[in-house]
Amino acid sequence: MGVQFSTDDVQDDERYDYWLHRHRDALDTDLRLLTGRHPWFRARCAIHTLGAVEAAILSYGGSPALTAGEARRTAGYPDQLDAYEIKFSIACEQFVVTQDGRQAELRPGDFAIVDMTRPSSAMASGRGPKRVVSLTLPRGTLPLPQSEVAKLTAVPVSGRHGTAALVSTLLRQITTDAAAYDPAEATPVSTAVIDLIATTFAARLDRRPALPPDAQRNMLLRRIYAHIDQHLGDPGLSPTAIAAAHHISLRQLHKFFEPEPHTVAEWIRRRRLDRCRRDLTDPALATRSIGAIAARWGFADATNFHRLFRAAHGTPPGAYRRLMSEQ
């Protein structure tokens, strides 16, 4: 369980001061709320460590008036990190990241990089709910020269095309599943996101050869992982279908997975079971049948799903749902 805090933790008249204090302590930034102390102010933060990276997910409730907040980091903080930060917009009318004299206006799905050793700011504004992510990665994990990365700070990257689209997809997935990842899953997830970010920025710098051979070799594997997560609900998802979608032979696909702690089929099954387990504990889906949940995530055979779920979790799905609802 990572660090979590919310304005729901305190009385209404304490929300603003509480949020400013907790935000400063947790994220090493000075936060300014630019539109006054409104009674509808709501905010929540969840911080998760995933292998080498740390994801801070910030959510602000919608309001009937325009609201804005600016998080500003200046040089000289006691705990200044020698790291980069990826600013990612999930849902925000306007999210602007500033550093080195540049401004990146990010639409939902877009992201930008900032250097945490230099001053920067990020401003979220609008009437609707706002959800943004700050992903921190140690400088040494990004295999690009610091002088080259400096050319890209506060430059918007569209999450709609190429490897940037894979970064966007994976970051959205992290915001949904971060709390459920166990240590065995967290490390491959962090490796995947770092490799994709490195490849995206290397392409912008026209420095593909500068990437280490391992990063180049891993790229297709990371695309395959992303493809699997995007198609879990398809009963036809299989090693053969995955190989065809990536224009490689089935033998090559299995070769890619040899260093992994699981086969392709095992990973598909595990991810589907994870999604089903999550849905079984979701109060919003309490009236949905177990068979419908299984089918939603690609299990065409209900009997087979029950057998696999029991083998993975030690109890049938119905009993698991009842147990979780009582906690």
Give residue 252's identity as a one-letter amino acid code: Q
State how far the Cα of 212 lies from the Cα of 201, in Å rounded to an integer: 14
Give residue 306's identity as a one-letter amino acid code: H
State how far the Cα of 81 lies from the Cα of 104, in Å rounded to an integer: 22
Among left, alpha and beta (phi > 0; psi -120 to 50; other), residue 224 is alpha
Contacts of 72 (CB under 8 A, 6+ apart): 29, 30, 31, 32, 119, 120, 121
**C-alpha neighbours within 13 Å on the C-beta side of residue 207:** 19
Q: Quote the pTM value.
A: 0.65
Reduced to 3 states, what is the DSSP secondary structure of residue 98? strand
Tens-of-pLDDT digits for all 327 residues of the chain? 467 889 898 888 888 888 888 888 787 777 777 666 677 788 899 998 888 888 999 998 866 544 556 667 665 444 446 789 999 999 988 899 999 999 999 999 999 999 988 888 888 888 788 899 999 988 888 888 888 999 999 999 999 988 899 899 989 988 888 877 777 778 788 888 888 898 899 888 876 545 556 665 666 777 788 788 888 999 999 999 999 988 888 998 998 888 888 999 999 999 999 989 988 988 888 899 999 999 999 999 999 999 999 999 999 999 999 988 876
For residues 89 and 111, is the Cβ–Cβ distance under 8 A?
yes
Compute how many other C-beta atoms are within 10 angstroms of the C-beta atom of residue 176: 11
Handedness of CA 119, 201, 219, 247 (dihedral sign): positive
| Structural domains in the chain, sorted by start | 3-230 (2.60.120.10), 233-327 (1.10.10.60)
For residues 192 and 138, is the Cβ–Cβ distance under 8 A?
no
Q: List Cα–Cα distances, 13 to 19, 66, 222, 275, in angstroms.
A: 11, 20, 47, 39
Residue 232: is it exposed, middle or buried by C-beta count within 10 angstroms (0-12/13-18/19+)? middle
For residues 70 and 31, is the Cβ–Cβ distance under 8 A?
yes
DSSP classification of residue 153 = B
